[in-house]
C-alpha cells in the first residue's frame, strides 16, 4: 500500500469482488437524521463504502441516504451484519430479508456474521449465508470478531472461505497472529475502531508522528491501517471529522514509522471480547 491509494481504491476479495479499502462505520450512530446526514456527507466527500448492522438500528437511515444521494447504487459498497439472536438457519434468512427491506435494497455487497455465537448456531448461520450468496442476493459473505479457532471451524465445515473477517484493530491492538492467519487463508482483514474510539489519540508517539507529517493523530492511525493492507471504516457523525478522516491519501508513513506504531501494541480492546455471554464458546 502506498500513497497512490485514493478514497475509491479497492481490494479484490477471494471471490473477485472489489471492496473499497476505506469506508464509513456507523456503530452507535444515532437513528434518524444523524445517521442519514453522516452517510450523505461521507458520500459527498467521496466515500463509496458504508458499514452498518442490524443491531445498530440504523439500517433504514443508511438506506434512506443511499436512495437520496444521487449516486448509482452499484457504485456504493454496503455491508451489514447478522446479529447473534438470528444465528439459526431460518432466522438468518429472515434477518437478511429484513435488512434488505429496512434499507430498501435489492442486494447487499457484504453480509457478515456479527459475532461468533455458540457453535451450533454459528454453523447454522454460516450455512444460511452460503445459501444467500448462492442466490446472488449478496455479493460476498464473511464474518466479524472471529478468532483463529472460529475461522478454522468454518474452513473445516465449508468449502466456501469467508471473504472478510472484520475485527477491532489499531496500533494498540495489532492481533498479528489473527492477521497472519487470515492472510494465509485469503481472508481480507477489515479493521473497525481504528482510532481506538478516541481513547489513544493523545498517545505521545502518535502525536509526534502527526506533528512530523502535519496530520492529525486520527489520520496517522487510519494511514497505518491502510498501509498494513487492511480495509478500514472509521466512524463519525460530524461532517468536518468525516472529511478529515478521509484526508489520508496525500502522505505515506515510512517503514520505520509503521514499525514504531506496531510497537505500541498492548492488546487494548475498546470492544471487549465476551461482552455478550456465549459468543466466544
Question: pTM for the whole thing?
Answer: 0.94
**Beta carbons of 149 and 127 less than 8 angstroms apart:** no
**In 15-137, which residue ranges form alpha helices assigned H by DSSP?**
33-45, 59-68, 89-103, 119-135
**Beta carbons of 207 and 217 less than 8 angstroms apart:** yes
pLDDT of residue 4: 83
pLDDT, the chain, mean? 94
Would the pLDDT of 279 be above 80? no
pLDDT of residue 274: 52
**In the chain, which residue ranges form alpha helices assigned H by DSSP?**
33-45, 59-68, 89-103, 119-135, 148-157, 176-185, 204-213, 217-227, 239-246, 255-262
Across residues 38-64, what is the average pLDDT? 98
Task: With cut-offs at 50, 70 and 90, classify the pLDDT of residue 31.
Answer: very high
Percent of the chain with pLDDT over 70: 95
Question: Each residue of 119-156: pLDDT tens digit?
Answer: 899 999 999 999 999 999 999 999 999 999 999 999 99
Task: With cut-offs at 50, 70 and 90, classify the pLDDT of residue 163.
Answer: very high
Task: With cut-offs at 50, 70 and 90, classify the pLDDT of residue 272.
Answer: low
Strand arrangement, sheet containing 24-25: 24-25, 49-51, 77-82, 108-113, 138-144, 164-168, 188-192, 231-232
Task: With cut-offs at 50, 70 and 90, classify the pLDDT of residue 197.
Answer: confident
Question: Each residue of 52-111: pLDDT tens digit?
Answer: 999 999 999 999 999 999 999 999 999 999 999 999 999 999 999 999 999 999 999 999
Residue ranges of domains in the chain, CATH in brackets? 10-262 (3.20.20.100)
**Active-site positions?**
56
Amino acid at each position: 500500500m502506498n500513497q497512490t491509494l485514493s478514497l475509491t481504491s479497492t481490494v479484490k476479495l477471494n471471490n473477485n469482488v472489489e471492496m473499497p479499502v476505506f469506508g464509513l462505520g456507523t456503530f452507535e450512530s444515532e437513528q434518524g437524521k444523524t445517521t442519514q446526514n453522516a452517510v450523505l456527507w461521507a458520500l459527498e466527500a467521496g466515500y463509496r463504502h458504508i458499514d452498518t448492522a442490524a443491531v445498530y438500528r440504523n439500517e433504514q437511515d443508511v438506506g434512506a441516504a443511499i436512495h437520496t444521494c444521487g449516486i448509482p447504487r452499484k457504485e456504493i459498497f454496503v455491508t451489514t451484519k447478522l446479529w447473534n439472536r438470528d444465528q439459526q438457519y431460518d432466522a438468518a434468512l429472515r434477518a437478511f430479508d429484513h435488512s434488505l427491506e429496512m434499507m430498501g435494497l435489492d442486494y447487499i455487497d457484504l453480509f457478515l456474521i456479527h459475532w461468533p455465537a455458540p457453535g451450533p448456531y454459528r454453523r447454522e448461520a454460516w450455512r444460511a449465508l452460503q445459501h444467500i450468496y448462492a442466490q446472488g442476493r449478496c455479493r460476498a459473505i464473511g464474518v466479524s470478531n472471529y478468532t483463529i479457532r472460529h475461522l478454522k471451524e468454518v474452513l473445516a465445515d465449508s468449502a466456501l472461505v469467508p471473504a472478510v473477517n472484520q475485527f477491532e484493530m489499531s496500533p494498540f491492538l495489532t492481533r498479528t497472529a489473527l492477521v497472519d492467519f487470515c492472510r494465509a487463508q485469503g481472508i481480507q482483514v477489515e479493521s473497525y475502531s481504528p482510532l481506538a474510539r478516541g481513547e489513544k489519540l493523545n498517545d505521545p508517539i502518535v502525536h509526534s508522528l502527526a506533528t512530523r507529517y502535519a496530520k492529525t493523530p486520527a489520520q496517522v492511525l487510519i494511514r497505518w491501517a491502510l498501509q498494513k493492507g487492511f480495509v478500514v471504516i472509521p466512524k463519525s457523525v460530524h461532517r468536518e471529522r468525516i472529511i478529515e478522516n478521509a484526508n489520508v491519501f496525500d502522505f505515506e508513513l515510512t517503514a520505520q514509522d509503521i514499525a514504531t506504531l506496531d510497537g505500541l501494541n498492548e492488546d487494548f480492546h475498546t470492544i471487549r471480547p465476551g461482552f455478550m455471554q456465549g459468543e466466544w464458546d
